[in-house]
Amino acid sequence: MHPFIEELNRRRVFRVAAIYIAAGWVLAEVAGFAGDTFNAPAWVVQMFTIFILLGFPLVVILAWAFEMTPQGLKRDTGPVAETAAGPGAAGAPVATPTHAPESRPVPPAPVKAEPSEQSIAVLPFVNMSSDPEQEYFSDGLSEELLNLLAQIPSLHVAARTSSFSFKGEKIDIPAVAEKLRVANVLEGSVRKAGDKVRVTAQLIKAANGYHLWSETFDRTLEDIFEVQDEIAESVVSALKVSLLGEVPRARETNPEAYSLYLHGMHFFDLADRDNLEKARLAFEKALELDPNYAPAWDGLAGTYVQQINTGQLSMQEGLALARKAGARALELDETLAEAHAGDAFIKMAFDWDWTGAQAAIQRALQLAPNNAKCLRRAGLLAANQGRLDEALVLVRKAIELDPLVTAGYNNLAHVLTATGELEQAKAAARHILSLSPVQPAAHSTIARCLLLQGKSDSALAEAEREPDPSWRGYVTVMALDALGRCEEADQVLGKYVEEYRDQMAVQIAAIYAQRGNLDEAFSWLEHAFKVRDGGLSEMLGEPFFACLRDDPRWTAFVEKMGFPTSPQK
């Protein structure tokens, strides 16, 4: 049967039409009988019949569009709307409007129906030693195994941040696999006594709980890196992973440095001022134990950059420290992809060296194409150069690999705000808050979207929830301006400029742009250039700068920044 005929039948159009014709015939007969009985003029019966005929197409249209349910008349949302191919269908490209309608919210990241069979999460191995202080060893072993497997391009490995978020919890393998979007889980335990170590590892297929492989290793501390290599080889064999070369090998280092590094990354991901200081101390302690541990140098470089953003370090001091730490990481290990990604970020955000940043991020992705951090940095670089479609692909892939870390959703919200998909940007920011309720800048992201949607009251309420004072003051001024509370806005802005003139110069420029004061807006952009405000790297996608883009000063400033793409109009 033709699909259109099937759809007519499914929606009961034929049935409704038949019932209407039968009912209309009966009503016409009754009208004719009544007209004869009461000597009504002939035109009355004729008009009644015409009304019945005119009602027929209307009833057919209603039958197609609506269905009768126990809750009343509902719009039909059957298979035609759900399965039609074309724009908006799964896998099809969707053109992004400048301002997306609020009726089109979608999840902040794509969810795959079924994860690849060659996908795995490495959960933190359980410390079975009598001494709880030995937990650093089990964490270090888990981390190294994850890093080894992540170097295999054909194997999808959930990122450490997400995998380690389940540390200390009662593990339900299918639930964990679903959250991390993987088909397999590697878990195990470590028992350490003196220089003797027992490592038990098992690879589990999440769908049915079947053990694909398991083994127990009784070794000495000197052999622990061989154990890591053997486990990695066994996982590759069990999952039938195709390799272009040999299975990557473990690097020998101080196991306790791993624990401190893990602590540092945990605090770094929380991103507030107190935790960034804890991250710095953890990385420095790791380097005291192993001065040649490149990942800790890279983590330290990233922490310095974040402390610039929070005002804990001046631009001059923070950049000098970050450059030194990043250079040391690459000097120790040129193959460390995350160090190249960190180098790319500094070149992009503070040097505005777009060619150098692109080369560094390409090297990072060449070394680790499935590294979530590298993908996030690549997505941010693409977005800041105006390649928004490419940026969305990169950021969404990073989220698939590391779905429980907030940085991916922060980047996603940034890109979606630039594309005008404001409902989706708000959804990404709210997801950040579901993962970390005190995450800086998430509430301010929502407030900015609300302002762009003309919802000033809601924007002010959201601004008041922002825990970070540098972001709270920024969106508070904009919300007060939008509400016409100019005197209050001026008071808040005065204090804000006094405290954050160097740290948030780009945001101050955006405030004046929103006010329509173009001269002050450009003046603050020039100040941002002078103090090397990293926010300038994101200026092309800033929606509050839209009013500046027809001004000749905008084109001149964009050229001074050296952007490789034409400014957005």
- Residue that wins the pLDDT comparison between 184 and 143: 184
pTM of the model: 0.68
In the chain, % of residues over pLDDT 70: 78
Question: One-letter amino acid identity for 489?
Answer: A
As annotated, the residues of the chain forming the CATH 3.40.50.10070 domain(s) are 119-252
pLDDT confidence of residue 63? 65
Beta bridge partners of 66: 75
**Span of 88-92, 220-224, 275-279, 535-539 with lowest mean pLDDT:** 88-92
Q: Which segments of the chain belong to CATH 1.25.40.10? A: 255-334
Instruction: Please report which confidence band the pLDDT of residue 138 belongs to, taking 50, 70 and 90 as the band edges.
Output: confident
On whether the CB atoms of residues 329 and 291 are closer than 8 A, the answer is no
In angstroms, the CA 423 to CA 413 distance is 10
| Alpha-carbon distance values, 73 to 53, 61, 181 (Å) | 23, 14, 39
Question: 318, 531 in Cβ contact below 8 A?
Answer: no
Write the CB contacts of 11 (distance below 8 Å, at least 6 apart in sequence): 63, 64, 67, 76, 78
Could you tell me which of 500, 422, 495 has the C-alpha nearest to residue 462?
422
pLDDT per position as a tens digit, 175-201: 888 888 899 999 988 887 777 888 888
Q: What pLDDT score does 235 carry? A: 83
Question: What is the H or E stretch that residue 308 is in?
Answer: helix 294-309
Tell me the average pLDDT across 380-407: 92
pLDDT score, position 111: 46
As a whole number, mean pLDDT of residues 333-350 equals: 93
Contacts of 344 (CB under 8 A, 6+ apart): 356, 357, 358, 360, 361, 364, 377, 378, 381
Percent of the chain with pLDDT over 90: 46
What's the rounded Cα separation, in Å, for the pair 373 and 283? 18
Provide the mean pLDDT of the chain: 82
Q: Give the model's confidence band at 81: pLDDT under 50 very low, under 70 low, under 90 confident, else very high.
A: very low
What pLDDT does 104 receive? 35
What pLDDT score does 9 carry? 58
Tens digits of per-residue pLDDT, 251-273? 566 777 777 887 787 788 777 88
The reported pLDDT for the residue numbered 252 is 60
Are 285 and 136 in contact by the 8 Å Cβ rule? The answer is no
Return the higher-pLDDT residue of 560 and 83: 560
Distance CA 330, CA 297 (A): 9
Q: Is the pLDDT of residue 205 over 50?
A: yes
Lowest mean pLDDT of 140-149, 518-527, 530-539, name the range: 140-149
* Distance in angstroms (rounded) separating the CA atoms of residues 490 and 496: 10
What mean pLDDT is predicted for residues 460-466?
A: 97
pLDDT band at 442 (very low <50, low <70, confident <90, very high): very high
User: 115 falls in which pLDDT band (50, 70, 90)?
Assistant: confident
Comparing 80 with 372, the larger pLDDT belongs to 372
Determine the Cα–Cα distance for residues 149 and 122; give it in Å rounded to an integer. Answer: 9
Under a CB-based contact definition with an 8 Å cutoff, are residues 265 and 160 in contact? Answer: yes
Residue 67: the pLDDT is: 52
Query: What one-letter code names the amino acid at 130?
Result: S
Exposed, middle or buried, 511 (CB in 10 Å: 0-12/13-18/19+)?
buried
Please give the pLDDT value at position 339. Answer: 93
pLDDT exceeds cutoff 70 at 85: no
Write the CATH number of the domain with boundaries 255-334: 1.25.40.10
Mean pLDDT of 424-434: 95
Q: Which CATH architecture has domain 119-252?
A: 3-Layer(aba) Sandwich (3.40)
pLDDT confidence band for 106 (50 / 70 / 90): very low
Asked if the model's pLDDT at residue 467 lies above 90, the reply is: yes
Average pLDDT over every residue of 236-245? 70
541: closest CA among 412, 423, 432? 412
At residue 34, does pLDDT exceed 50? yes
Q: Over 90: is that where the pLDDT of 547 sits? A: yes
pLDDT value of residue 14: 65
Instruction: Write out pLDDT tens, residues 474-519.
Output: 999 999 999 999 999 999 999 999 999 988 999 999 999 999 999 9
Between residues 140 and 392, the one the model is more confident about = 392
The stretch 216-220 carries a mean pLDDT of: 84
pLDDT at residue 65, as a whole number: 60
**Is the pLDDT reported for residue 98 higher than 50?**
no
The confidence band for 405, taking pLDDT boundaries of 50, 70 and 90, is confident
**Beta-carbon neighbour count of residue 395 at 10 Å?**
31
Average pLDDT for residues 68-75, to the nearest whole number?
44
